Structure 1
Amino acid sequence: MPVRYLIVDDELPSRSNLRLALAAHPDWRLVAECDGTAAARAVLAAQEVDVIFLDIQMPAESGLVLAREISRACAPPLIVFVTAYSEHAIDAFDVHALDYLLKPLNDARLAQTVERIGAMLGQRQREAYGAALRDYVDASQTAARPERINVRSVGRIEQIRVADILWIESAGNYVELHLAGRTVLHRITLNRLETLLAPEDFLRVHRGAIVRRGEIARLDSAGDGSCRLTLRCGATVAVSERYLGALKSAM
């Protein structure tokens, strides 16, 4: 079954580059190209669309306004945000398991996006995706800390409440979210995730670990001068000298 997609971008070269790149995928069908949100609304009212490539910064109206409207549908089309934002500014996309393409377009990154979308559509994850999209647009509207982290794996999205996270461990370009009884792997770096967590709730204790303040139980020093923190959940976490002072103050 073909994937029906819509491009919404005020820049003609950007629309053309994306359309030509997607022509390499025979199962993808272009529904329309729009230079703004008003034209996109007209297309969406008249035709079924599976995927929208949506520019954020447009002169008449931000793409986020249209995304907010789309997010209220029970099973909205998937949105791939097309943006010139810096890496630091796209943290929220990762936290909410939303896909994005940075300008100028990278063919390898687009191929990754096409693969992710195929998995999402194949597993009929639109309702879960809609919830993730609502989380994102609500957070972007209020500048609030996220209440949930939407974890994507093999085309599925699982919502993890931040309140349920006991501690977080770095795993390269991923983090391990430690919950009661299980661990969930999420694609975001620990440094990037730290900027989105409330400092009154979480504390960095090591370059590779962040703990919930309420989980702090006991700090032990070894004979070699190293320290380990025991959490109420029973886990033990290494503590580096850099963060030792802040940890002692928290205790």
Structure 2
Amino acid sequence: MKKMIRTIIIDDEPLSRDELKFLLQNYNEVEIVAEAESGEKGLELIMMKEPDVAFIDIEMRQMSGLDLARTIQNMKKVPLIIFATAYPNYAAKAFRVEALDYLLKPFDEEQLHETMKRVKERFKSKISEKPNQVSKLAVEDEGRIVYLPPSEIVYLYREERETIICTKDRNYNLKAPIKELEEKLKGYPFFRTHKSYLVNLNKIEELIPWFNGAYQLKVEGKKGEIPVSRNYVKSLREQLEL
């Protein structure tokens, strides 16, 4: 069976959504799985539906298309992003968030055709890649090598010259810097709350006000709190909240 390109349209203008849906009917491999009238609803549906492609308007109330694109970059499965907007002056910012293309309204059929060619080429290369069968973090433990699934890591932090990885049951000490481990865990739901802390978003239970705009986190199965620098609070809340 031919694999469909699962697509979502996020635009606060109903007529624009309808026009794009009509034009996309010409592409048999495209399946429109959802549409949203706001960035907030779009984020919820992307998390729920896990589409392959997202057509996103830029100028929307509250959460803009650019803010939405930045937020979904940290998801494990990031859809191909195509901005669809009436404003040409956002193009440079759009490509900074790794957008595949930039469509201007009113939509031009030839331009959409070129965009869909790029989508199909990228989609074809992605499904032809061999998926990784196992993705675990290797850590040394008393002369042995233990392979940790990222989902079991609650958080990790830097202390003096070591990085401590904390699971629900025990801790592991590594020499590798936290930046190196953050890179290895890219694609999993980890978030830097502080220069010395990296936290699994799925393990967070509470966000507690502290002082001077800073916060602390309570995480699943662990006593004590984790610091959240005030510079990271807004971005963290965007990650956690629908």
TM-score for the superposition, normalised by structure 2: 0.48
TM-score for the superposition, normalised by structure 1: 0.46
